[in-house]
Amino acid sequence: MSENDRNNLSKSIPFQQRRAKSADEFALQILNDENLKKKTLLNGSHEIIQEYNDDYICAPLPRTNNRPSARTCWRSRPVFAPSPKCNFGPKGTLKKIQNNDQLIVIQDPSTQRLHWISTPNHILIIRKPGPTTLKEFQTLIGKLLRRHLNVYIESSDQEYLSVDNNSDLKKYAEQFIVFDQGDLPKIDLIICLGGDGTLLHASSIFQKSCPPILSFSMGSLGFLTPFDFKSHEKILNEVLAGNVAVLLRSRLSCTINKKTSDNTSTPTTPDISSRTNDTIKLDHEDNKTCLVLNEVVIDRGPNSYLSNLDLFINDRFITKVQGDGLIISTPTGSTAYAMAAGASMVHPNVPSMVICPICPHSLSFRPIVVPAGIELVVKVSEDTRLSAWLSVDGRNRLELNQEDSIKITTSVYPIPSICRFDQLGDWFESLADILHWNLRKPQSSFDIDEENQSNEKSDSQEDENKNSSLSETDDLSKQLAL
């Protein structure tokens, strides 16, 4: 099936009615086949079923040995959530596609654990720049090389490692490699030494499928980095053996459409792999998208006027944003800039996006949480006074002029973050220890209050008795003196 046929088929169906359906084996037994009209389109081993009565397209992945194969799927809006039961009462159910063998039941996030298909051999180490992580960086490299693993480092860290002065580097020189973009498919595991910014940098490097990330907290905050480097050897043994809990942190797919002189939009991609805050240089021939782990921010930048933005959801105009700007956040980013702007904190397993205004010029414009499968478009209004500015994950900035737009949706490539305990325990521990969530002196009970009151009464009574006895003693001494 050609790309044009896909596009034509996609346009023939209303956007807001396209969605993926879950399946239930029992429900398929009571499905009424007479009301189901389907059209099968073959694309290699992919089978896409169009159901006219329900107006949706589902493109399930094929199965191999009762496991879904790792082939590319035409489903572009995933939902990481438990597969719900589809039977409602004795007779109610959802209409579904028939080929149950090709359906994927989405796994409960609380049961997601890392499994290695084969032994991991290629390890990429990304560290926080500066001398604070240098000692641990050198220690980790030596231990990984002695395990006969191939160790990759960034080119900026090469100057801190001297082959002449390091016996491990000299002995295992062939296993010590400087990382470049051509090594992306080889990496089996990423180890981050630093804070949340180091994890964001790792996400920016892998703009498609990302290997599992093991994060050691060595930065300023460390909300996303749960592990302590003191126990790194034990942790490495557990991770390399597999069967550790993994949290899939969803990312946003962001595509910028710049209006050209002939009133057409040209897709372009911001370069977020750099650690600097320089202005983004555009390449109008680049038709890719960038993946964002925390948030996409459109604000007024250095301008003194309000931002004037139009917000669309699934091709429907929702509202006009007038204020300092707008934050489109992932659940992971809901504890970052969005939280500071007043949005609710959302657990990373919740399939959603957070829409949060920045200082809106309206008392009723509150942050909202929307489903992960929708498509957002933020457009700079035609009647705006000045330009707006875009930043992704706090990196770099791009100026947006009138009628420039940004298309945002959930990516199919999450960040598999290795958990210290489990998906829930790590998050709530970070809320308590890092953000001091709901930290308050506990209120005393009624029994303790009554006990304190009785103690106070007894103390006051004793003081009165002492005072009365002292006064009597003084009177007696005065009489004896006379």
pLDDT in tens, 347-361: 999 999 999 999 999
Of 196, 299, 393, 426, the active-site residue reads: 196
For the chain, percent of residues with pLDDT exceeding 70: 65
Most confident region among 80-89, 217-226, 289-298 by mean pLDDT: 289-298
What distance, in Å, lies between the first and last C-alpha atoms of the chain? 123
In a domain, 366, yes or no: yes
Average model confidence (pLDDT) across the chain: 76
> Across residues 43-56, what is the average pLDDT?
36
Residues 190, 122: Cα–Cα separation, whole Å: 9
Does residue 209 share a domain with residue 296? no
In a domain, 482, yes or no: no
Residue 309: per-residue pLDDT: 96
In a domain, 218, yes or no: yes
Q: Which of 162-166, 267-271, 280-284, 439-443 has the lowest mean pLDDT?
A: 280-284
Does residue 154 share a domain with residue 237? yes
Beta bridge partners of 46: 43
Does residue 294 share a domain with residue 407? yes
Sequence-ordered list of residues with C-beta below 8 angstroms from that of 114, at least 6 positions apart, any chain: 212, 239, 242, 243, 244, 245, 246, 416, 418
> Across residues 400-413, what is the average pLDDT?
93
Place 222 in a pLDDT band, splitting at 50, 70 and 90. confident
In a domain, 87, yes or no: no
Does residue 317 share a domain with residue 379? yes
Residue 470: per-residue pLDDT: 62
Place 264 in a pLDDT band, splitting at 50, 70 and 90. low
Q: How far is CA 4 from CA 8, 10, 308, in A?
A: 6, 10, 35
Does residue 119 share a domain with residue 238? yes
The pLDDT tens digits for 50-72 are 333 333 333 343 443 444 444 44
In a domain, 10, yes or no: no
In a domain, 1, yes or no: no
Q: Report whether pLDDT(180) > 70.
A: yes
Residues 43, 309: Cα–Cα separation, whole Å: 40
What is the longest distance spanned by two Cα atoms in the chain? 123
Residue 395: per-residue pLDDT: 85
Domain endpoint, select from 394, 413, 432: 413
- The H or E element spanning position 3 is helix 3-11
Residues 11, 59: Cα–Cα separation, whole Å: 16
| Structural domain count, the chain | 2
196 catalytic per annotation: yes
Q: How far is CA 73 from CA 40, 61, 230, 425, in A?
A: 16, 6, 41, 32
Domain endpoint, select from 413, 437, 452: 413
Q: Which residues span the domain enclosing 207?
A: 114-242
Helix (H, G, I), strand (E, B) or coil at 449: helix
Q: Report whether pLDDT(15) > 90.
A: no
Does residue 307 share a domain with residue 206? no
In a domain, 123, yes or no: yes
> Across residues 270-282, what is the average pLDDT?
51
Q: Report whether pLDDT(46) > 70.
A: no
Question: Look-up: residue for tokens 């500066």?
Answer: 130
The pLDDT tens digits for 224-250 are 999 999 999 999 999 999 889 999 999
> Across residues 446-471, what is the average pLDDT?
68
> Across residues 179-196, what is the average pLDDT?
91
| Beta carbons of 380 and 321 less than 8 angstroms apart | no
State how beta strands 189-194 and 213-217 pair.
parallel
Beta strands in 174-278 (DSSP E): 176-178, 189-194, 213-217, 246-249, 252-259, 265-268
Q: Report whether pLDDT(259) > 90.
A: no
CATH number of residue 386's parent domain: 2.60.200.30
Domain endpoint, select from 364, 396, 413: 413
In a domain, 397, yes or no: yes
Does residue 230 share a domain with residue 337? no
> Across residues 4-14, what is the average pLDDT?
49
CATH number of residue 181's parent domain: 3.40.50.10330
Q: Report whether pLDDT(393) > 90.
A: yes
Does residue 299 share a domain with residue 227? no
> Across residues 336-365, what is the average pLDDT?
94
